[in-house]
Structure 1
Amino acid sequence: MTDIAPVKPPPVKPTRVLVTGADGTIGRPVVEALLTAGISVTALSAAWSAPSRADRVFTGDAADESLVRRALKDADAVVHLAAIPHPGLGTAREVFVGNTSATFTVLNLAGEAGVRRAVIASSINAFGVPFNRHDLTPAYYPLDELSPVAHDDAYSLSKWVDEQTGAWAHSRWGITVIALRFPLVRNLPELRAFAARLRDNPDELERLAREGWAYLAMADALDAVLRGLTRPITGMHTLLLAAADTLVQEPTDLLLDRFAPASERRRDFPGRTAPIDTSAARRVLGWTPQHRLGDPICLETSA
């Protein structure tokens, strides 16, 4: 059995970060943000669509112990983004086993190596309702980290298990883990184009009610990742992220009346206020979303 690494204070600013999933939608911007912040990057991805600017680059599976051990050399923090990002991109077993084994491998070996900080990508889908095949809506709005779970697909279950793995890794190794529950994350022009397509897609509009029509600008996602790496905190924290408004032009309260009338509403949502509670991210990371699509109906935001 490997000896437990001695507990060291968490770094104020890491010197080298291993980024898994470094060729992904969020992975490439994370690498660039870290380099801009003066942090060295080791980049790991299953494949590459273009060269990475990281000074150390590894190609392969984040569940490969030998590969991850080599990639962790000199790293004092990890951003784990590698995953199959949708239940339809593999069999249930491929999605669940692939995602959870990668997360366990990265966090376990990081802890073993004495790494004291990890940010991992969870999902707004981690509570299971958004992809559930049954006729469900969330138990209540605003969605938060304690929303009751109802898992019916392998992807959502894998993200929820990843969070439990983060708690295990903190208990086992003393590593601080921040699991960020991302909604749809894109640059604002892409988000505006997606929002425009929603107007002609009532089925998708109804499905997205289960995740509060949430989105997040890439700049705000990167800010959360960097804060997760540098804030002077300890423990395991699961944090839900979202912009202050929704993807939809209609007022949120009217949308909830239409698509989720049976769900408890714990407060009102004026204008296009997102029915998402991000107060935990504000409390733990000092994070608040700075970018929004804009609201021609009402510019009020949640308290």
Structure 2
Amino acid sequence: MDESVGRVVVTGGSGKLGRAVVRHLVESNWDVINVDRIPSADPIAPYVHVDLTDYGQTVSALSAVDDRYDRVDAVVHLAAIPAPGLAPNPVIYANNVTASYNVFAAARQTGIRNVVWASSETVLGLPFDEPPPYLPVDEEYPARPNSSYSLGKHVDEQVAAQFCRWDPELKMIGLRFSNVMEPADYAAFPGFDADPALRKWNLWGYIDARDGAQAVRKALEYKGTGLEIFIIANADTVMATTTSAELAARVHPEVPVRHELGRFETLLSIDKARRLLGYEPEHSWRSTVD
């Protein structure tokens, strides 16, 4: 058996993206611990029940848990109420921001210098009722949170920036994941062309959970220090026949398009992730749906 790459705690490893991340990291020879409030339906890694809004529990989970493990090399923080509207606004904000702060602070306290966490495409300005400054959107323009959920994600990014300022050896990578999909979700995609406005809210983007997991692994492997933020989406849109150029012209005709668009090219730019992480999506919905 190959030697382990290192031990990583994955918070929220029982969730939709978390399950794919845990599986991919196990297959990539990481020693994975799933930290969550509920066990996984796909239990391929040891599970520890932790409430991340409790700082003491969080520090303990990133330090040692009896006979399970005695050190942690990296943390992937995915645990959160995963979208706007799933709880009252103050509950979403308080839960998500508190959990993120606790994970970031506990990692620093326990000497973990490799932190990857789930930010969100919502920070880009979803649902884009106000047009974006240009297309494809990227990481370069200021955040535009439009919900308590996305405000919390924006706060996470600002907190991470200060943690990295305090500790120059720390690496923190925020991944602005698009709408997470699994193969079972793809049967609905051909119907989106009937009304392109249905998916205008996130510029027709998505991320296959398996490609999201790839991005997490590559972020863990990245050798830099300091804060980096990446949009993580698939290379194509959810649309079956309507091209990206047609979508841009129809829905946001006043918005500058910065380059000639490929037929179904994502309007959530992944150029930075490609350049710095070597990220390249491998799973398009088009190869799944007949």
* Pair in the same fold by TM > 0.5: yes
* Deviations 1:137-195 (CA, angstroms, capped at 9, x unpaired): 212101101234333210111111111122122122332011111102223x3342231
Work out the percentage of aligned pairs sharing the same amino acid: 32
Distance 1:51 1:286 in 2: 28
Q: Residues 228 and 285 of structure 1 are in contact (CA less than 8 Å); yes or no, is this contact kept in structure 2?
A: yes
Q: Residues 138 and 210 of structure 1 are in contact (CA less than 8 Å); yes or no, is this contact kept in structure 2?
A: no
- 1:89 Cα deviation (Å)? 0.7
User: Is 1:131 equivalent to 2:127 in the alignment?
Assistant: yes
* AA of the residue aligned to 1:123: S
The aligned residue for residue 266 of structure 2 is 274
The aligned residue for residue 257 of structure 1 is 249
TM-score normalised according to structure 2 size? 0.88
The aligned residue for residue 60 of structure 2 is 70
* AA of the residue aligned to 1:70: S
TM-score normalised according to structure 1 size? 0.84
Distance 1:206 1:198 in 2: 9
User: Is 1:29 equivalent to 2:20 in the alignment?
Assistant: yes
> Hey, which bits of structure 1, 4+ residues long, moved more than 6 A?
none
User: Is 1:177 equivalent to 2:167 in the alignment?
Assistant: no
| Residue ranges of structure 1 left out of the alignment (5+ in a row) | 1-12, 296-303
* AA of the residue aligned to 1:163: E
Q: Residues 119 and 176 of structure 2 are in contact (CA less than 8 Å); yes or no, is this contact kept in structure 1?
A: yes
- 1:196 Cα deviation (Å)? 2.6
| Residue ranges of structure 2 left out of the alignment (5+ in a row) | 64-70
* AA of the residue aligned to 1:142: P
Match for residue 203 of structure 2 among 204, 207, 212: 212
- 1:14 Cα deviation (Å)? 4.8
Task: Specify the SS of the correspondent of 2:81.
Answer: coil
Counting only pairs closer than 5 Å after superposition, residues 1-303 of structure 1 correspond to structure 2 as 14-48=5-39, 50=41, 52-55=43-46, 57-73=47-63, 74-127=71-124, 129-131=125-127, 135-173=129-167, 174-187=169-182, 189-200=183-194, 202=195, 205-206=196-197, 208-249=199-240, 250-294=242-286
Distance 1:152 1:126 in 2: 8
Q: Residues 14 and 77 of structure 1 are in contact (CA less than 8 Å); yes or no, is this contact kept in structure 2?
A: no
The aligned residue for residue 3 of structure 1 is none
Q: Residues 245 and 294 of structure 1 are in contact (CA less than 8 Å); yes or no, is this contact kept in structure 2?
A: no
Moved more, 259-268 or 99-108: 259-268
**Cα distance change, pair 20–213 in 1 and its aligned pair in 2 (3 A):** same
* AA of the residue aligned to 1:265: V
The aligned residue for residue 300 of structure 1 is none
Distance 1:100 1:207 in 2: 29
Q: Residues 140 and 147 of structure 1 are in contact (CA less than 8 Å); yes or no, is this contact kept in structure 2?
A: no
